[in-house]
Each structure stands twice: as structure tokens, then as C-alpha cells.
Structure 1
Amino acid sequence: MSRRRRRKSDSNLGTIIGGVALFLATAAIGVGVWVLHNRAQAKPVLDKVTLCPLDGPKEITAILLDVTDPISDLTATDLRNQFQEVVASVPAGGLIQVYTLTENPSQLGLSFSGCNPGDASTVDDWTGNPRLVKERWEKGFQKPLDEVAARMNEGVAGKQSPILAGIQRINVEAFSAIQYKDIAKRLVVASDLIEHTSTYSMYSDGVDYSKFQRSGAPDQFRTALNGASVRLLEFQRPGMKFDSLQLAEFWTKWIMSNDGKLDRFTRLEGIR
């Protein structure tokens, strides 16, 4: 083969290799752009007020705080720790609602309602702005919940403690809402768990579940929990005729009879 032909062949080979390399580089860039685009598209659009995805939250956690009686400082500290643990377990896109029990069975206070928008760890520098996401999470989610936690020992003695009515109202107004029908639901009740109303009072009637069943309370406060998970945080009270184990047995029976699932029963530190 002549030197001229060999040079021409080498030139053609170089052109082919260069073309292949250019094609591969272009394809890699295209794939990268496609991946980044899909990541950006996958990020949910959030409501500006609730910080919930516009297509609805992934799950809902409702916390019922019983402030119808004061609690000790130690119990309040333990409660704050438990509260923050629950808050930390809410995933991005999960809705959390914090209610306060009042002595009025038909009235609940709503201290907070909003979704976890995700913190800076849920975004990267390519598809989002971690600094702005962190700021939104702190201002719209973590800070207001910290403020709720700070007020947990501000209970004022009330004439009634309608815990059953409070759970029923949360279930009807929040869990049973049509937009939340198909998502996981979790209820956390922080209370001394001593039901006290004109219909049924553990102070006078005790915690014998068979006696409770003979009262008008089961019909008045029945509510279909439909598999919702329930976690109980008990404030201890001195001088009661029943203990925490008996309380746990009562509430376990009531939750199961209303188609709920007891997650756990925790007796908080301190007593008052």
C-alpha cells in the first residue's frame, strides 16, 4: 500500500472515531438533561399556605393534646421529646395537625395544620435551592411546631375532660374527609386518659370496660377509625383508684372496638 493511501485510511479512521466520540458525548449530555428534567418534574408543587402537595398529602398525623389539666414540668419535658419524635417521623408531603382538647365536647382547638415540605436534604443543587428549601421548612413547619411544644405545660383545670369526643371529632373532621380517604392515618393522644364527662366519668365509674359498655358513652362516642394507628402518651395523676395498666387495657379495648390499631402506650415521666 502506498504512503498516500495509508494516510487517507488513517484520516478516515480518525474521522470515524471522532464522530463516535461526539455522538457518545452528545448522548450522555442528553441523558443527563433528561434525568435532571425528570427530577425537577417529579418535585411536587406545594400549596403556599399549607405547604402540602397540590394533589394532596401522602399521609396524615393528628396529635390531640389534653390541656384540660396542668402537668408537671418533668412530664412537659418528656412530652416535648415525644412530640418532636413524632414530628420528625412525618415524611415530606405528610400532613400534621395539632389539636388541643377543651372542656367543651363539641369544641377542639387547632394549633397547627400543615405539611412537611421537605428540608434541604430532599433537594440537590442541580434541581433545587437547598437554602430556600431549608428556610421554608424552618419557617413554615419546624418553628411553629416548636412554638406549640413550648406551650405544652400551660394547661388550665377544666370541668370536663372529653377525650372520647375529641377523638371522635378528629376522626370525623380530618380522617374521614374525602380527600384523605385513601392515605395512611395516625393519631397521637397525649393526655392523662381519664375520661370525665356527664355521660361517663372514670373518676366515679372507674375503668371497668363492661361498666362503660352499659353506659350511653359507647353509642355517643363511637367512631369508625378504619385501621388508623393510635399512639397513647399518658400523663400520670396521683391518688387514682386505678393504675396505668388498667387504663391501657381500657383504651386498648375501646380502640379495637372502633376498628383502630393501638401502636403503643407510653407512660410519661413525672406525676401531678
Structure 2
Amino acid sequence: MARRSSGRRSRRRGRSAQRGVTGTVLAVGVAILVLSGIGAAFWWSDQESRARALDTETLCPEATGPVAMTAILLDLTDPMSPAQHAQLLARIEQEISDAARGTQFTLGVVSEDSTRWGATPPLCKPQDAASANRLTQNEKLIAKRYESRFHEPLQSRLLDMVSATGANRSPIMESLQALVADTPGFVTFEGPRRIILVTDLLQHSDALSFYRGGTWDSFRASPAFQRLGRTLDGAEIRIYQVPRPAEGVKDPAVLEDFWIRYFERQGAHVPVVNRLGDL
């Protein structure tokens, strides 16, 4: 009987030892899983932070750069009516609102003074409060950055540029190419590109003047045609046309024909035209 009792005690001790080892292994496994989960969470958080990181000056994503580019050219060599002015601001505001987060914006003007050609410093559209994650992000800080660092500066530049004092010349083509060339990365950018042109379409410069009876055919036959580049491959073109008396232009259809051919030659899409009427 003593031997049997001793055997049972030995088996019980063996089973207890096995349970102890199994418990230890499970505990170690759980600890490893917990630590792996914490590590993965830190890695994911770091990746998210890197993805959201913005350039301090342009607000463009540091990881990828701009996701799209929009260059806005304002041809306001003649004043607009109050109704046209209000329409323009509303249209541009809608363009900004519809743009993807990370879209780079620059502005330029058509001017007879070539020193005013070029682009404003680029600004990328950052995240706005509407797209903020309420659980992990501070909506107020995101909204403040959007307004103070992006929206307000862009609107301020726009308002400064929409005031026209009148001019004797309207070099639209020249000003457009200066804007494109001066916008960082625009010429070689492989993502979506858009040109927004606010203009009466009445080109008037040494290269071509509709007031002197210029047409696409006369431009093509002129020495200036040799200066024509191809910087807008695949770009979308949206024109907000400001109607003006086309004095000296016998056939207004000449304007449409010219600009369709011009942007086709540049490799861009066919322009989408909206008129900023006031009647």
C-alpha cells in the first residue's frame, strides 16, 4: 500500500510540474503577444505621423510632395463689375474646396509689366476639420492650421490680385507660361495638373493681338509661333471668361478657335469654359 501511495504522489507531482511549465509557456506567449501588439501600435503611430508630416513653409506632404497642382492665372487688366467680382471669388472658393488634400496652389497675374509675372509662393491644401478623426485628432488645432496657414493667406493673395487698374496690353500667353515655369515642379509633375484661367481671352501683345486682326493662322505664320512650347501635357484647363466688348474683333469665334488650338498644341485637354456674366 505504501508503494502505491508513493506512486500516486509521484504522478500528481509530475502533473503539477507539467501544468506549471504549460502555464509559464502560456504566460510568456501572452507577454510576447502583448509586447508585439505594443510595438506594432508604436510602429503604426510612427508611420501615421510620418504620413501626416507637412513641410513647414508650403504645407505640402513631406513623404510624397503635392498630390496634385493647380495654377490660377488672373487676367484682370480691365476692371470687373461687382457681380463678376463676387462670382469669381465664389468660383475660386469652390475650386479650393473641391481640391484634394495635398493639392498645391499658386497664383499669377496677366500684366503688361513683366516684372509682375510668375507665381506666388506655393501652398498645399492641408487637412481640414471636416475630415479629422475625433478620437485621435484635435479638430480645433486642425481647423486653426487650415484657416491661418492656408485658407486666409491664399484668400489674401487672391484679393490683392483681383483689383485691376487697367492696362494697354494683355499678354495672356506670356503670363501663363511665366506662371507655369515659376511654379515649383509644375512642368515635370506627373500627377493631376490644372490651369484655372480668369480672362477675357483678348490676347494683346507683340506676339499676337486680336485687336490687330490676329488669328491662329496668322500666329502660326509668324516668327512668334516658333517660341510656342509644350508645357501642359495632360493638364486640365478651366476658363472663367470675363465678357467684354470685343472692340476691333470682327468675329468673336476667332477667340474660341485660337484658344482651343493653342491648348491642343500645348498637349492640354480641351478647355472647359464658364462665363462670368453680369446680366
Whether 2:143 is the aligned partner of 1:137: answer no
Among candidates 176, 196, 211, match of residue 204 of structure 2 = 196
Whether 2:230 is the aligned partner of 1:224: answer yes
Aligned positions of 1:96-245 closer than 5 A: 96-105=105-114, 107-108=116-117, 110-111=119-120, 113-121=122-130, 123-124=132-133, 128-151=137-160, 153-174=162-183, 177=185, 181-184=188-191, 185-206=193-214, 208-220=215-227, 222-227=228-233, 228-238=235-245, 240=247, 241-243=250-252
- 1:75/1:268 contact within 8 Å kept: yes
**Which stretches in structure 2 are left out of the alignment for 5+ residues?**
1-7
SS at match of 2:274: strand
Alpha-carbon distance in structure 2 between the residues aligned to 1:239 and 1:164: 18
Deviations 1:22-72 (A, max 9, x none): 6665554444343323222322342x2222334633332111001211111
Deviation at 1:199, TM superposition (A): 3.3
Identity %: 25
Report which of the two has the higher share of strand: 1
Among candidates 68, 80, 99, match of residue 90 of structure 1 = 99
> Using a 3 Å threshold, how does the CA distance of structure 1 residues 84 and 36 change in structure 2: closer, same or farther?
same
- 2:187/2:232 contact within 8 Å kept: no
Deviation at 1:157, TM superposition (A): 1.0
Whether 2:84 is the aligned partner of 1:63: answer no
Matched AA of 1:223: G
Deviations 1:178-209 (A, max 9, x none): x8623333211111010011332112215x32
Correspondence for 1:257: 265
- The more displaced of 166-175 and 227-236 is 166-175
- The more displaced of 118-127 and 225-234 is 118-127
- 2:200/2:243 contact within 8 Å kept: yes
Alpha-carbon distance in structure 1 between the residues aligned to 2:54 and 2:275: 40
SS at match of 2:230: coil
- Equivalent pairs, count: 265
SS at match of 2:47: helix
Matched AA of 1:40: S
> Which protein shows a greater Rg?
2
> Using a 3 Å threshold, how does the CA distance of structure 1 residues 226 and 110 change in structure 2: closer, same or farther?
closer
TM-score by length of 1: 0.79
Alpha-carbon distance in structure 1 between the residues aligned to 2:85 and 2:251: 22
Among candidates 50, 59, 66, match of residue 51 of structure 1 = 59
